[in-house]
Structure 1
């Protein structure tokens, strides 16, 4: 983030395909010219579809036959402050116009020398490609979600691979980011604009274990509705339990898994000792998926950690379950220990 906020490039990708990524809002001639020298020279400007619509940028073609489906719009130049449009100075100017929230259709000329392309609405979570990575990085760095990108080329005839990029990054002191790393960051911490989860409702809930506070959350990555059952804290380092939705176990009480027993025991412990039970729902899960076993995901860990942190906890003890201490921990949440506390030991 420090490099992007200083207007310096980040090298993004993996394997044999890497892009130079700059925030379009800070595009200036020096680094734009550097990008042209080390890439194919074809400069793109990934942006959101709604931004393209606001700028009057229709698709380049209506029948996209590219199997990787890059969504190019018509090419553009800035309407003012440029000469031929092809120089690094001119293309940097055009990139800044695309990123400027005050710009409109009249601020651009079509066709031009910069290629905008629209990205998936969910960024790298929905489509883990270079264009989405560029927009997500700009957003995470606090800039308008418009990037300036180009594909790196190697010393030979092909695109730059891991070794080429490592040497280039070391020579120019530039950070390298793998797209899967960015996907994991998004799943754990959100998109940089909204929180990872949003609190939407709360109620006092009587249960067989005692009174609990029920707090509802909307997952800003998956769209799921999660719930946190909160017992009144009795210690400075409360207990936390995490449970993933299991219809066959929670409702049908199948003997194929012990989900029903574990959630009942966790609720009893939380009611007695204080803390929180996080119940995670999974949109799109099939009813019988649990028969094939549960898989704990990065999205689950990100949502659970964000919920616990939103409730104001900074240090917790984790009850044995699907989440590990390392998965739940965040910069604002410390997991001090893992507790194996069946309810039978408390009665």
Structure 2
């Protein structure tokens, strides 16, 4: 964490008040030096002046975050993705059918946004392609996926403007993605507050809980010995997930942790091109670890999840749901009193907004 900027972060309540007044805010993951930022404003406050400010000062792609219900009502098709490493769920671009000229001006884009968020708008009131780029955040917001579009949607809702927000990534004068120092300079230059996703996660976690423990029993495993099995249900997708716990987990104790996406073809049937024996290796690592250990197995609640994977969409699922599964896993870990983690993983990927969940990676252990 960059301590020099800790006093520059605004409290969530202050961010929400600025959003209510239609003032833009910079959203960052946390205070790490490589954090990137998006300028955010509720869609209901995205007039032509605000769109022009985003285009000329923030410089990135201007996106309209819409909930899945609105996207379905407007019959917006999802954008096909050739690059499966892109996790953002974009729909086809849109334009208001009436009241615009070229579509690219600040006025025209503000008009398109206003039409898209109007509850009376029908699918025929929009055309494609256009100059506004809708994006669909995950249901459950930052507690399920601690991303910038989810944060923008949460903040817009908390400010009283419903589930629609406009975001624009900040670029520097050279056209590169702005990092923490540059984001703080932008904040000071334009008088714009900075809010961290990690703080929003913590704020929501104090008042909300999106997983519930529904069953607990002892389990004798041939791989990790005597453990306790807990079954959790998430309140958004209604999916059930499993946690195995070895030993006594207490706050402050270094706990070995594995969070695992369940894949029947790989984990049960031994698909040769997939990860090899990760479940067994994780459970054996739990048994060998000198201290408490937890393994969380996140299940996809989609009724077509198995068919999607068998039909060649396994990597797409992993890229789409990795952060969601991390959010679910984080809430389960907190319920189990985990704080300091020895993370059992083969990945070095940064886990955004982790501090908001009250979790800390002490070190990583190769699986």
TM normalised by structure 2 equals 0.55
Query: What pairs up with 1:327-342 in 2 under 5 angstroms?
Result: none
| Structure with higher RCO (Cα < 8 A, 6+ apart) | 2
Distance (Å, rounded) in 1 between the aligned partners of 2:248 and 2:56: 52
Distance (Å, rounded) in 1 between the aligned partners of 2:183 and 2:24: 13
Query: What pairs up with 1:1-347 in 2 under 5 angstroms?
Result: 1-14=16-29, 15-61=34-80, 63-189=81-207, 196=208, 219=209, 221-224=210-213, 247=217, 283=233, 284-286=241-243, 288-291=244-247, 293-294=249-250
Question: RMSD over aligned Cα, in angstroms?
Answer: 3.1
Q: Which has the larger radius of gyration?
A: 1
Deviation at 1:96, TM superposition (A): 1.7
Deviation at 1:186, TM superposition (A): 2.0
The count of corresponding residues between Structure 1 and Structure 2 is: 227
Deviation at 1:39, TM superposition (A): 2.5
8 A Cα contact 1:99 1:144, kept in partner: no
Unpaired segments of 5 or more residues in structure 1? Answer: 190-195, 197-218, 226-244, 249-255, 257-279, 304-326, 328-347
Distance (Å, rounded) in 2 between the aligned partners of 1:298 and 1:46: 24
Distance (Å, rounded) in 2 between the aligned partners of 1:24 and 1:282: 35
Distance (Å, rounded) in 2 between the aligned partners of 1:223 and 1:143: 29
Distance (Å, rounded) in 1 between the aligned partners of 2:213 and 2:134: 32
Deviation at 1:114, TM superposition (A): 0.4
Deviations 1:63-95 (A, max 9, x none): 452313211111001122222110111111111
Deviations 1:171-191 (A, max 9, x none): 2221111111112222222xx
Deviation at 1:100, TM superposition (A): 1.8
8 A Cα contact 2:64 2:167, kept in partner: yes
Q: Which residue of 2 aligns with 1:312?
A: none
TM normalised by structure 1 equals 0.58
Unpaired segments of 5 or more residues in structure 2? Answer: 1-15, 219-225, 234-240, 253-328, 336-357, 359-367
**3-state DSSP of counterpart to 1:138:** helix
Deviations 1:235-285 (A, max 9, x none): xxxxxxxxxx9755xxxxxxx9xxxxxxxxxxxxxxxxxxxxxxx995535
Deviation at 1:145, TM superposition (A): 0.7
Distance (Å, rounded) in 2 between the aligned partners of 1:295 and 1:247: 22
Distance (Å, rounded) in 2 between the aligned partners of 1:299 and 1:130: 19
Deviation at 1:36, TM superposition (A): 0.5
Deviations 1:109-156 (A, max 9, x none): 111100001111121222211111111111111112111111101233
